[in-house]
Structure 1
Amino acid sequence: MEKSIALLIDAENISPNYIEIIIDEANKAGKINYRRVYGDWTTPQLNPWKQKISEFGLTPIQQYAHTSGKNASDFTLVIDAMDILYSGKVNSFCIVSSDSDFTKLVTRLREDDMFVFGMGESKTPISLVNSCETFAYLDKMLEASKEKEAKEKKKEPAAPKKANSKPKQESSITPLAKVKAELKNIINENAEDDGWAYWSLVTQFLLKKYPGFHPRNYGDNIKPLAFFQRMKEFEVKKINTVIHIRNKE
């Protein structure tokens, strides 16, 4: 059954530069029934978002910031999400934010058997990432998109960025070594006597453990199978249409 999706975007926490990626990814998942973007539209900070509203058919939801130190739009988004849930018109939610305050909302939606996938930047707290069925890192996707575009246009490589004195922002992207270690464990736990495990089953467990995993997070915009296949720790084979993977001894 095709997913019917409520796309809810926290404009005060997400750059409008990601909107095309957001819409594309949501469209791949199913039919977007709701396209709502939340924020205090009286503030100049959201002016860049206003240019995207009509272009992408978004519905802006106004929420005045009556309290300081907290995004009032967070509360409005949560209330709207629950109203949409009880309307029974969708079976999936896409929450676009890097704010961990939405973790409880995601958990609540999944308790009602909703499919919830998230999008945000790599700074997104791991609590929100892991509460979703899947999670896409928008900054990594944008980087991959720009690299692909540059290759297609055969542009010269960009000059190295100047050193930034600001401290490096903490990332919720799981270290690759940790991902590989978990993959080895999953293979061992699900392998047949000959050591081979079904790739479809292995990748299912891996994404449940790390919903935000994708090779582009580590600089490779390729499919996960190809990503692991070229590593010395794993071996892949295909029998008819069924793919198997095992740990190399």
Structure 2
Amino acid sequence: MAHDKLAVLIDADNARPAIVEGLLAEIAKYGTAHVKRIYGDWTKPDLNGWKEVLLRHSIQPIQQFRYTVGKNATDSAMIIDAMDLLYSGRFDGFCIVSSDSDFTRLASRIRESGLTVYGFGEKKTPEPFRTACDKFIYTEVLVSVGESEPAAAPKPRSAKELRGDARLMNLLRGTIEAASDEAGWASLGAVGSIVNKQSPDFDPRNYGYAKLSGLIKGIGLFEIEERHIGNGKHLYLRLRSGKK
């Protein structure tokens, strides 16, 4: 996966310069950004904050005039370019950076062609766009320290808060059950894979934990066992007896 060729398309009207450092670091986990483009009307002063960031990270700005007040020409330009890049057959996946639901159909169309779609947007992003992606990352967790608008790392939620989150608990319990063997043990890797397929916007960082293993330990309702398989260590977990 790390060698996947990715096209990164950013909607400047629905993203902040402060996310770029974290955004590109996150994208590097999934592949190499062979195309980095950002769309907006660069004649407008509200996009001035992007200039230094674009130069530093070699992101190509695409000019799109706002022909009519209230109409978003940026979306159309991004969609047209995305389809051109898709038809080129040169990419393994796309990174769409926007909190706009207008890109829902685009994400679905790219996935229909067998390519992976990574979505990036704020927590206000409508659910249809989030679920249309293979994986969706909230940009609030990507803001880098030292940027003009730094965001404090989310404080880890307490065990009580985590256990009281019905959606989270149902997701984890159901996933562990689906991935478990006859003794109830499930590998952490399998659990993480199924969770991401069922809920593309799931991310331990949204709960204040860097990794899924930390979140599982924070909940405190699961047994965790480290097993040596081959040359590596693998974590397995199951619901503690009597904990429902």
* TM-score (norm. length: structure 2): 0.85
**2:139 matched to which residue of 1?**
138
Contact 1:121–1:138 under 8 Å retained in 2: yes
Contact 2:226–2:236 under 8 Å retained in 1: yes
Contact 1:117–1:132 under 8 Å retained in 2: yes
> Which has the larger displacement, 78-87 or 235-244?
235-244
1:232 aligns with one of 209, 220, 223: 220
Pairwise CA RMSD? 1.8
1:198 aligns with one of 167, 187, 190: 187
Deviation at 1:242, TM superposition (A): 2.8
After the TM superposition, which residues 138-177 of structure 1 pair with which residues of structure 2 at under 5 Å, given as runs? 138-142=139-143, 147=152, 176-177=165-166
Contact 1:198–1:243 under 8 Å retained in 2: yes
Q: Residue 9 of structure 1: SS of its match in structure 2? A: strand
Please tell me the residue identity of whatever aligns with 1:187. Answer: I
**1:212 matched to which residue of 2?**
201
Deviation at 1:186, TM superposition (A): 1.6
Superposed CA offset, 1:176-195 (max 9, x none) = 43111111012223322211
Mapped partners of 1:86, 1:193: distance in 2: 46
Deviation at 1:102, TM superposition (A): 0.4
Which stretches in structure 1 are left out of the alignment for 5+ residues?
Answer: 149-174
Mapped partners of 2:189, 2:24: distance in 1: 27
Superposed CA offset, 1:181-226 (max 9, x none) = 11101222332221112222111111111212222212x2321112
Please tell me the residue identity of whatever aligns with 2:132. Answer: S
Please tell me the residue identity of whatever aligns with 2:206. Answer: N
* 1:136–1:92 Cα change, 3 Å: same
Contact 1:106–1:131 under 8 Å retained in 2: yes
Contact 1:5–1:34 under 8 Å retained in 2: yes
**1:77 matched to which residue of 2?**
78
Superposed CA offset, 1:56-85 (max 9, x none) = 101111111112222100000000000001
Please tell me the residue identity of whatever aligns with 1:239. Answer: R
Percentage of matched positions with identical amino acids = 38
Mapped partners of 2:166, 2:76: distance in 1: 38
Mapped partners of 1:238, 1:22: distance in 2: 32
Which stretches in structure 2 are left out of the alignment for 5+ residues?
Answer: 154-163
Deviation at 1:141, TM superposition (A): 3.0
Please tell me the residue identity of whatever aligns with 2:224. Answer: V
Q: Residue 124 of structure 1: SS of its match in structure 2? A: coil
Mapped partners of 1:4, 1:39: distance in 2: 24
> Which has the larger displacement, 133-142 or 120-129?
133-142
1:246 aligns with one of 214, 234, 238: 238
**2:97 matched to which residue of 1?**
96
**2:170 matched to which residue of 1?**
181
Q: Residue 57 of structure 2: SS of its match in structure 1? A: coil
**1:118 matched to which residue of 2?**
119
Contact 2:18–2:144 under 8 Å retained in 1: no
How many residues are matched? Answer: 222
**1:106 matched to which residue of 2?**
107
Mapped partners of 1:33, 1:47: distance in 2: 25
* TM-score (norm. length: structure 1): 0.83
Q: Residue 54 of structure 1: SS of its match in structure 2? A: helix
Contact 2:136–2:201 under 8 Å retained in 1: yes
> Which has the larger displacement, 43-52 or 98-107?
43-52
